[in-house]
Amino acid sequence: MSGKLSINEFVINVTKDRETFNSSDMEQIKEILRLAMSYYELRSKEVNELHEGNHSSVLYLDSIMEENILLKVVEIASHSDDQLSLEQIYESKVVRRH
């Protein structure tokens, strides 16, 4: 990850580029997480799956380190003292492979 922005710098840059960013909108937080997974070249990924006729986003976490990176992204993007969990954002659809 050399030459990359810090997590704090990354989230600030991405959110300031979005005029309508709402830190309590879970879909916008998911978008920031997708961008972070791509930018930091993480092996964790979000997959859209079909369950009982409904499409939903499932987060597959590759390692504890990547989970911690994504939690830091959420903490900074949500601007909240009450830490959101990945389970809250993905409605309990989180799969840990570690």
pLDDT of residue 87: 96
Whole-model pTM: value is 0.90
CA nearest to 76, candidates 5, 4, 9? 9
Please write the tens of the pLDDT for every residue from 11-55.
Answer: 999 999 888 899 889 999 999 999 999 999 999 999 999 888 889
* Alpha helix stretches (DSSP H) within 17-92: 26-39, 64-78, 86-89
Between the CA of residue 36 and those of 14, 51, 70, 73, what are the distances in Å? 9, 26, 8, 8
Higher pLDDT, 53 or 2: 53
Amino acid at 76: I
